[in-house]
Amino acid sequence: MSTTLFGLTGAALVGIGLFGLIVHPTALRKLLAFNLVGAGVFLVFGVLARRAAAAGLAGDPVPQAIVITGIVVAFAATALAATLLARLSGPEEEP
Amino acid sequence: MTELLALTLALPLLAGALFIVATASTRAALFGFFAFGLFLALAWVALDAVDVALTEAAIGGGATGLLLLRLNGRMRHPVSLGEPAGPRLKIAAGLLAALVTLALGALLLALPEPAPSLAAATVEPLPALGIGNPVTAVLIAYRALDTLLEIVVLLIAVVGLRALGTDRGWGGRPVPWPEGEPSPALVFLARLLIPAGLVFAVYLFWVGADAPGGKFQASTLVAALWLLAIMAGLAPAPCSGGRWTGRALAIGPLAFIVAGTIGIAAAGSFLAWPEPVAKPMIIAVELALAVSIVVALVLLVAGPPERETGR
């Protein structure tokens, strides 16, 4: 029951993030909303891992490990997007 | 009881997400994101995925939040990608979001029982690897190629970041963090936290073989401490054109690839660990990876080099 509750929370996070991604005009807010969508997807995946508990483990370690990789890749993408935004916001180059 | 716990974690998550999307102030949304990340980490603990919780607290909430907060401070004007949404677009976006949420929720409620699981297959070969934590085993052994490519993604992000820096700052250090003198309280905090944090990072690195933790969580902690030292003015940011920075970034993937190639000769396939020396080889590769991850994370959060000389 409590696992399903987290799954539904993850689904709601995806929805809330998607709404923010579409509605906000500024890029930084879009980036934040995009991270919310990612958090929701990871949470849904974590619920799938928790449901697959077996062999004395509290969850299936394969999805858990893939979520860890996913969090890092999402961070790398966010960092690259942030650098792009920093360049877009103000030309530091002298002409 | 667990339902109550799940509810006390799910409600702040939803409220936090709504706040992040709805608030007018970008700064408030960023601080909301920090709090959201902490609650999300607690939710991962409640899902019995402590390894993920550590990563989420460190990277998902901490490093991403810090990165975006710094970006917000550095941006001269907000970058707008379009007009503010009108009521029609808002309604359409709301309907689409509701539809996606409902579809995901329906799928979750319709999942097969019992759930398919790889847990048993993960546990069985653990003794041969000398690793007790199945998540670490998946990361470094069964799905080692994923981890290798994950490091490569970090490197590509660092390359992209350097390419986006200004010509003037090429090969230099990132923009100095606080423009003025750091506050004495921050310096004191950094002096207090850094030694203790480093000891804890070594512990996390070592204990990752058998308990939640591991190279990734440990390197994130070291990177966070380094960033704290940079903010307090106690340590310089890595010089992106420096000889050591490049070597540190390369050592992790190179060690991983060399170990993988040894696997072809000794165990028959790329990234297979030859059984008698699996544990020492894994530790050596993890150490090299940790060095690369620390430098890559610090460079990614600190931003592109923009001035000829740092401080």
**B147-172 confidence digits (pLDDT tens):** 888 889 999 998 888 888 777 666 66
Higher pLDDT: B275 or B176? It is B275
Please list every residue in chain A whose beta carbon sits closer than 8 Å to the beta carbon of residue B117.
Answer: 52-55, 60
* Span of A90-94, B67-71, B137-141, B152-156 with lowest mean pLDDT: A90-94
pLDDT at B274: 76
Mean pLDDT of chain B: 82
| Burial zone of A87 (CB within 10 Å; 0-12 exposed, 13-18 middle, 19+ buried) | middle
Across the range A11-32, mean pLDDT stands at 90
Are the Cβ atoms of B115 and A51 closer than 8 angstroms? yes
Share of chain B above pLDDT 90, in %: 9
pLDDT at B310: 40
Condensed to tens digits (0 to 9), the pLDDT of residues B34-70 reads 999 999 999 998 888 888 888 888 887 788 888 888 8
Length of chain B counted residue by residue: 311
Please list every residue in chain B whose beta carbon sits closer than 8 Å to the beta carbon of residue A23.
Answer: 21, 85, 89-90, 93
Is position B164 within any domain? Answer: yes
How far apart, in whole angstroms, are the C-alpha atoms of residue A42 and residue A70?
8
pLDDT at A40: 93
Asked if residue A37 has pLDDT above 90, the reply is yes
Asked if residue B311 has pLDDT above 50, the reply is no
pLDDT at B177: 62
Q: Judge if B172 and B37 occupy the same domain.
A: no
- Please, are residues B47 and A9 in contact by the beta-carbon 8 Å criterion? no
Asked if residue B129 has pLDDT above 80, the reply is no
Residue B251's domain comprises 131-311
Is position B185 within any domain? Answer: yes
What CATH number is given for A2-89 in this structure? Answer: 1.10.287.3510
Domain ranges in chain A? 2-89
pLDDT at B40: 92
Is position B197 within any domain? Answer: yes
Searching chain A, which residue's CA lies closest to the CA of residue B65?
Answer: A32
Last residue of a domain, one of B75, B93, B116: B75
Is position B187 within any domain? Answer: yes
Name the maximum alpha-carbon separation found in chain B.
66
> Band of the pLDDT at B1, cuts 50, 70, 90?
low
Q: Judge if B40 and B181 occupy the same domain.
A: no
Assembly ipTM:
0.90
The alpha-carbon gap from A41 to the nearest alpha carbon of chain B, in Å, equals: 10
* Span of A1-15, B50-64, B229-243, B281-295 with lowest mean pLDDT: B229-243
> Band of the pLDDT at A90, cuts 50, 70, 90?
low
Q: What total number of domains does chain B contain?
A: 2
Asked if residue B136 has pLDDT above 90, the reply is no
> Band of the pLDDT at A16, cuts 50, 70, 90?
very high
pLDDT at B83: 77
Please list every residue in chain A whose beta carbon sits closer than 8 Å to the beta carbon of residue B81.
Answer: 25-27, 30
Higher pLDDT: B125 or A20? It is A20
Q: Which long-range contacts (CB under 8 A, 24 or more apart) does B83-91 make?
A: B83/A25, B84/A25, B85/A22, B85/A23, B85/A24, B85/A25, B89/A22, B89/A23, B90/A23
Closest by Cβ to A89, choosing from B75, B83, B100 = B75
Asked if residue B176 has pLDDT above 70, the reply is no
Structure tokens at B93: 């976006």
Asked if residue B113 has pLDDT above 90, the reply is no
Given CB atoms, is A81 within the 8 Å cutoff of chain B?
Answer: no
Across the range B210-221, mean pLDDT stands at 82
Please list every residue in chain B whose beta carbon sits closer than 8 Å to the beta carbon of residue A10.
Answer: 104
Q: Judge if B161 and B261 occupy the same domain.
A: yes
pLDDT at B2: 77
How far apart, in whole angstroms, are the C-alpha atoms of residue B235 and residue B230?
5
How far apart, in whole angstroms, are the C-alpha atoms of residue B198 and residue B204?
10
Is position B82 within any domain? Answer: no
